[in-house]
Amino acid sequence: MAKLEILHYPDKRLRTVAEPIAAVDHSIRSLVDDMFETMYAAPGIGLAATQVNVHKRVIVMDLSAEKNEPQCFINPEITKSEGLEQTEEGCLSVPDIFETVERAERVVVKALDKDGKEITLEADGLLAVCIQHEMDHLLGNLFVDYLSPLKQMRVKKKIQKARRQAAII
């Protein structure tokens, strides 16, 4: 296993649209392992392959307090979504920014698991939010895209300022 580098907004590579996976083989399982290691080390609750500059449709997450319930979705598709809810979100690719985003309250997601087996999952609450957030990454979208232009400008300024300070120290 290896920890991978996480791309940070506004890196243009985060805008790449991921390709579907033709076969869940050894290289994909190895990618999934590396993504879990990277996500746990960050630490974060979810990660999309796009964020580690691999443009394939793979997302991983673990919402458990003990970090012992890894969930992986390969070629995820939302087949049903209903309701609306607002949640404060953050993202490993947009450090230290937390903003409220509106998403579907419940989703049904169809995907392949790590063994290439088809799974269907009904999700609500944080799991539903996390699935939608990670699937957005696969399309090159970020949660900050949902903010008003004014708020997006503030986010960009805050990130640039933090980067300048980091460079001075």
Which residues of the shown chain bind Ni ion in the complex (CB under 5 A)? 91
- Quote the least distance from Cβ 99 to Ni ion, whole Å: 12
Q: Can you list the positions of beta strands (E) in 92-162?
A: 94-112, 118-124
Q: State which residue, 13 or 117, has the beta carbon closest to Ni ion.
A: 13
Please give the Cα distance from 162 to 138 (Å, whole number): 26
Catalytic residues: 134
- Quote the least distance from Cβ 66 to Ni ion, whole Å: 22
Q: State which residue, 116 or 147, has the beta carbon closest to Ni ion.
A: 147
Q: State which residue, 116 or 140, has the beta carbon closest to Ni ion.
A: 140
68 backbone dihedrals φ, ψ, rounded to 5°: -130, 20
Give the residue closest to Ni ion by C-beta.
91
- Quote the least distance from Cβ 76 to Ni ion, whole Å: 14
Report CA-CA distances (Å) from 72 to 53, 82, 113, 124, 148: 17, 22, 6, 17, 32
